[in-house]
Structure formats: structure tokens, C-alpha cells
Chain A
Amino acid sequence: MFRNQYDTDVTVWSPEGRLLQVEYAMESVKQGSACVGLRSNTYAVLGAIKRSVSELSSHQKKILEIDDHIAMGIAGLTADARSLAKYMRNECLNHKYVYGSPLPPHLLMADLADKHQRCTQTYVRRPYGVGLLVIGMDARKQTPRLYQTCPSGNLYEFYASAIGARSQSARTYLEKHYESFEEASKDDLILHALQALVGCVSGDDELTKENGSIAIVGKDEKLTLLEGEALQPYLDRLELAAPEEEEEEGKDDDEGDDEVEAMET
């Protein structure tokens, strides 16, 4: 009820005990197109729908490589995400140089969460307007991990998660199927990721090899990015299942403002 009076500065509390600027930053994440992440015992997969501003433009990259064993999916302000990616890549290179081994993802994520938090407690900066889904392999224990950060600086670990516009559809799908992920094969995980994304496309669009994007990390396997032609075999296997999903699409149009396209993807 006091939203307008206490929302100009990130260092001002509202009477309800909320930091409204941080919450507004989290709205930005919901404007970006969908990104999903899931993991099994041996692999972690990221999937994303790449948005393009017009027919003439390219599709905005949603998945960024951080190192051979870490990848990041983004939703929200792309420029903020790129700045964070640059920082994370540097941290990975530094760690490799100093300690001779790949940076364990949980250390990187803790550092990243702190970086987010710092911007919520000072006058001169604004919160990062991007949500991140990060997959990584823990080199020592050889287990895949999935983490999520948001502008508030909170850090979560998930078996499966989705962020961005119309991501509730993906979350519902993941909740239904997550028990089968643990023992799933690599291909099955990729299919689950794509199937979850099918429900997140806007309006008449469909998931195609141009706007889909997948990243996989696994035990003893370097990070692989699947885009374009490499996606087609998986999309073909999905096509067979598409008719069932189309019924659910209409129900899940709860978020996603298609008009606001300026900065976010």
C-alpha cells in the first residue's frame, strides 16, 4: 500500500519490511524469455528460448559458457548478465591458474550471491536485473549441480527449475516429472528440458532449432552447447508429443508482457 513512497531508493525499507527496488528488479527477470535447468546423477542440462526482436534480427543468446564445466542461462537484462559472465569467467581462469584445478561451482555461486547482495545495500549501485540458472560439475565429487540466483542476492540449489516469462508451465512440467530425472539418460534429460520449454513459447510461436538452445555438462565431459542443426534430432522426437502439450499452452498464459521487449530477453 505504501509502494510509491518507499520505492525510489534501494536503501529505503518499506513499512512492510520490503526493499521495493529489489522486488522491482525481480520483475525484470519475469520479463525475459524462459530458461529451464534440470539435473540427473551424472548430467545437468540448461534449456532456453532465444527471443528475436523482429524477423530481421538474430536470436539473442541465452546460454553463456563460463568454463569447460560451468554454463549459465539468463533471464532479464542481458547486459547485466554479460557483465556477470565476464566476472565469472575471470574467477574461473584465476582459480585454475592459482590452484591448478577447475573452480568448484558452489564457491563461484557463493561469491556471485555476495556480489548481488552488495548492490542491494549501497546508494550508488542498483541491483542486477537478471536471474541466472547455473549448471556446473563439481570436479572433486564428480556430481552435477544446478543453482539459481536472483537480484535479491539469494542463492538456491535445485534439482530442476525454470525462470522467465511463462515459466510456470515449465515448472509444472518439471514438478510432474522430476522424480524420473535422477536416473535419466543424457538424451532423456535434453528431451525433458525441451518439452518443458514447449509450454513457454509465446502465442503462435513454436520451439524451433532457431530459437531453442541447450547446454549440457557431465561427468568426464566438457561443456557442450547444442544450437541450430544439432537440436533438430531432439526436436523431431518432441514433435510426436506436441499435440498433447498444445492443450496446456492456452491455460498457462498468466505472465509475460509481450509489449515490453526493449532491453530484456
Chain B
Amino acid sequence: MAPFRTQHQTNRNAAGGPSLPMMPPIIHSSEGPVMAKADTIDHGVTEAPYERGFSPYDFNGGTTLAIAGPDYAVVAADTRLSSGYEILSRNVSKLHALTDGCVLGSAGCKTDVDQLRSVLDIKQKIYHHNHRKQMSTPSVAQMLGNTLYYKRFFPYYAFNVLGGVDAEGKGAVYSYDAIGSFERTGYSATGSGQAYIIPLLDNVIGHKNRADENRDLPAEEVVEIVKDAFVTAGERDIYTGDAVEIMVITKDGIQTTTFDLKRD
């Protein structure tokens, strides 16, 4: 009996019942095809284990950050979209303006991010129709938290950071986890490069472990710090690079600039 004919051979006689015992399956390992030991009940999986099943999530990389100032907020994200070791695009935005006063930055699984944005846009529109005004940033923050928790048991694979100005015109930044836990903070970073950026922001924006005098930074200086932060993250994190999109939100609106990064 040729061992390479089929994986699972059942030999049946004319009456339809098996006439010979089942042949053990062929295992395909890195050494080539080999017949499994006949006395195993797991069909050879433990001898040459391989991943079965389907993951609904993919990690498309990228880093986002947001910093709150006295009368502005800065939200920035790199523009690289990747999957595994491949770059899918060097020019995809991770930032989305939900209202005139706040911007959502999301890294993670792009399709979940897109879907989350669609859902938030619709909810924001319905609010606008019913209340005849735009949602305030704290309201958007609450809505985003609720929307994420709604999918507590099959989460949006989206790591979010929300930046904008609150009703009084002060800068507001909210950081999230994937299932909707959130907090208003002075600054935040999320995504693949967050571990490189947060310590930097702790020192420069949070003024931790510094001897010099703490002062309010103007928006232009913060933008320069943001560029440095992304250069830092891009240096070591393979998923961060290509370019940074930086949005500065004030009570007068949103201004966008782009800054090139290393493309390696």
C-alpha cells in the first residue's frame, strides 16, 4: 500500500464496512512527510504541532500620542500601516476628527479602527440632530468608553487616544484601553511605540525628575517635542515610521501638518 496516497485512508469492502484497519495519517514536518505512530490518538499533532484555527485580529502597527495644553491639544500619529514584517502603506492616517473640537487617534487592527470610527460618526451625527449642537469633548470621551465596553466580550482591537478642547477651551486628553476603561490625563501615547514615547513625555511634558522650573509650553514647542518623540520611537520600533501626522486643536479649529520620518 503506497504510503503517500492519502492522509487518512479508510479501506472499505463491498458491503461498506472497513476491511482493513485505518492507516495512520501522514505528518508533514520540516523533515518531510512521515507516517505517524499507529498507537497515537491525536493523529500525530503532538509530534509535529502546528497552529490551527483562525484569529479575527491582525495587528497593523503604529503609534499615536496626544498632549494637552492650557488652551490647545496636540494629537499625532505615524502614517505607516503594516502586517507582520511587511509594510502595507506608508501613507494611511490614524487620526480622525470626530467634531470640530476633538480628534481620535487609533492604532491596532485597522478594520476594527475603521468600524469604530463609522459607529462613532453615526452616534455623533444623531446627537447633533437631536441636540442641535456638536458633542463636547468630555461627552465624546464618555461615548467612546461606552462604545468600547459594549463589545466587552469581542473587543474592538483599537488602542485609542482622544485629544481636544473641552467646553471651557482648555486642552483635554483621554487615554483608553481596548475595552473602554478611560481617564483624562495631561498626555498619553498608545500603540506599538508607546513604551518608547511615554517615558519621554513623563520627563518633558509631565516634568518628572527634572530640576528646572516647570512652565506652560506653547503649542509650537510641543509640536517640536512630538516630532522628537516619533523620531525616537521610529528608531527602535519597526512598526513606526514613514511620516507623522500632527493635528493641533484649539477653540478656533484643527490645523494639520505632516513631518517625514525614516522609512526603514
Contact = CB atoms under 8 A, between A and B. Distances in A.
Interface of A: 65, 89, 93, 96-97
B122 interface: yes
A119 B214 CA distance: 69
Contacts of B126: 89, 93
B184 interface: no
Contacts, number: 11
A97 B121 CA distance: 9
Interface in B93-119: 118
Contacts of A89: 125-126, 129
Interface in B120-148: 121-122, 125-126, 129
Majority-rule SS of A interface residues: helix
A96 B122 CA distance: 9
Nearest to B119: A97
B122 A65 contact: no
Nearest to B123: A93
Say whether chain B's binding surface is mostly helix, strand, loop, or mixed.
helix
B129 A97 contact: no
A97 B125 CA distance: 12
A89 B129 CA distance: 8
A89 B122 CA distance: 10
4 pairs of A and B residues whose beta carbons are closest in the complex: A93-B122, A89-B129, A97-B118, A93-B125
A220 B59 CA distance: 36
A65 B125 CA distance: 11
Nearest to A89: B129
A210 to B, nearest CB: 17
B7 to A, nearest CB: 43
B99 to A, nearest CB: 13
Contacts of B129: 65, 89
Given A65-B129, A89-B125, 9 more contacts: A89-B126, A89-B129, A93-B122, A93-B125, A93-B126, A96-B121, A96-B122, A97-B118, A97-B122
11 contacts: A65-B129, A89-B125, A89-B126, A89-B129, A93-B122, A93-B125, A93-B126, A96-B121, A96-B122, A97-B118, A97-B122
Contacts of A93: 122, 125-126
B127 to A, nearest CB: 12
Interface in B217-235: none
Contacts of B125: 89, 93
Interface string B10-42: 000000000000000000000000000000000
Nearest to A100: B118
A149 to B, nearest CB: 20
Nearest to A68: B125
A96 B126 CA distance: 13
A73 to B, nearest CB: 16
Contacts of A96: 121-122
A89 B118 CA distance: 16
Nearest to A92: B125
B125 to A, nearest CB: 6
A93 B121 CA distance: 9
A65 B129 CA distance: 7
Nearest to B115: A97
B246 to A, nearest CB: 25
A93 B125 CA distance: 8
B112 to A, nearest CB: 16
Nearest to A67: B125
A93 B126 CA distance: 9
B111 to A, nearest CB: 14
A96 B125 CA distance: 11
A76 B260 CA distance: 58
A97 B119 CA distance: 8
Contacts of A97: 118, 122
Contacts of B122: 93, 96-97
Contacts of B121: 96
A96 B118 CA distance: 9
Contacts of B118: 97
A49 B167 CA distance: 33
